[in-house]
């Protein structure tokens, strides 16, 4: 398969890459580049070079998962490119081919699919308070743990209408809207993408010695959620 050709089938790629002159303004404005070992200028340059080997390295590596998709880069590029859109196309291709399982940040796609993806489809929210399970999110620290354990009281005190009917923050989303979201995932191939992420992740989990054990690879999910090789951030 010609990877570059596959990318050109994605409308985000066509929109995102016109011609890059490698000036680096996108990197200067990029908030992710401040923290991660990450440079959108290089990603644009690699893709533009059509070097299949280097594109494959991108698809199998960590860097495409560092982008926060904030789209700040589109406001400053003198050539009208949007590295954030190029990266979206790279991410989709990585998921489609199963290459995402080859990197630590890429493997986290399974956790994102199971939490954020499924929340969107079935609850209408990206993240809900009960998703921030302390065991899976040690980065939340003791304050996060306290909020998690006292979440009913905390959300009531800040005026949320948590999963309640009517108006208010974190309210229950009406069924009509939920039906629309479900249909969007159906017609855009979102559910097909979910299946691919599950499929390739299970193959990877087995190859790493994890077993299904009747709990849908939850040990693997915990592993990918909490493991950090310490090599992602800028030194």
Q: Does residue 117 touch ligand SF4 according to CB under 6 A?
A: no
Measured from the CB atom, the residue of 90 and 221 that comes closer to ligand SF4 is: 90
CB 148, min distance to ligand SF4, A? 28
User: Could you say which of 7, 64, 77, 197 contacts ligand SF4 (CB under 6 A)?
Assistant: 77
Pick from 68, 58, 72: nearest CA to 25? 72
CB 90, min distance to ligand SF4, A? 11
CB 227, min distance to ligand SF4, A? 23
DSSP 65: G
Measured from the CB atom, the residue of 126 and 208 that comes closer to ligand SF4 is: 126
Measured from the CB atom, the residue of 73 and 115 that comes closer to ligand SF4 is: 73
With contact defined as beta carbons under 8 Å apart, do 43 and 90 qualify?
Answer: yes
User: Could you say which of 79, 202, 222, 232 contacts ligand SF4 (CB under 6 A)?
Assistant: 79
CB 81, min distance to ligand SF4, A? 4
User: Residue 61: which residues within 8 A CB-CB, separation 6 or more?
Assistant: 102, 103, 106
Question: Considering only 51-59, 70-78, 105-113, 199-207, which stretch makes contact with ligand SF4 by CB under 6 A?
Answer: 70-78
Pick from 96, 69, 126: nearest CA to 197? 96
Cα separation, 205 vs 201, in Å, equals 6
The distance between the two most distant Cα atoms of the chain, rounded to a whole number of Å, is 55
Per-residue binder mask for ligand SF4 (CB under 6 A), 6-45, x = binder: --------------xxxxxxx--xxxx-------xx--x-
Q: Is the dihedral of CA 31, 34, 35, 40 positive or negative?
A: positive
**Rg over CA atoms, the chain:** 20
Give the rounded distance of the alpha carbon of 127 from its chain centre. 13
Q: How many residues does the chain have?
A: 235
Please give the residue ranges that form the binding site for ligand SF4 (CB under 6 A). 20-26, 29-32, 40-41, 44, 67-73, 77-79, 81, 83-84, 87
């Amino acid at each position: 398969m010609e990877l570059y050709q596959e990318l050109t089938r994605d409308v985000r790629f066509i929109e995102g890459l016109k011609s890059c002159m490698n000036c680096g303004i996108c990197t200067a404005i990029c908030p992710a580049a401040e923290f991660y070992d990450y440079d959108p200028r290089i990603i644009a340059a690699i893709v533009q070079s059509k070097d299949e080997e280097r594109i494959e390295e991108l698809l199998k590596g960590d860097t495409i998962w560092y982008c926060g998709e904030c789209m700040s880069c589109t406001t400053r590029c003198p050539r009208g490119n949007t590295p954030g859109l190029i990266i979206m196309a790279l991410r989709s291709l990585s998921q489609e081919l199963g290459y995402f399982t080859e990197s630590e940040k890429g493997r986290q796609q399974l956790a994102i699919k199971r939490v954020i993806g499924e929340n969107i489809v079935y609850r209408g929210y990206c993240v809900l308070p009960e998703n921030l399970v302390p065991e899976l999110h040690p980065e939340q620290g003791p304050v996060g743990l306290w909020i998690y354990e006292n979440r009913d009281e905390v959300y009531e005190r800040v005026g949320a209408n948590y999963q309640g009917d009517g108006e208010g923050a974190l309210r229950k989303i009406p069924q009509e809207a939920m039906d629309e979201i479900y249909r969007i995932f159906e017609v855009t191939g979102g559910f097909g993408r979910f299946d691919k992420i599950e499929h390739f992740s299970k193959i990877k989990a087995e190859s790493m010695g994890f077993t299904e054990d009747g709990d849908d690879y939850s040990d693997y999910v915990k592993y990918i959620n909490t493991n950090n090789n310490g090599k992602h951030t800028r030194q």
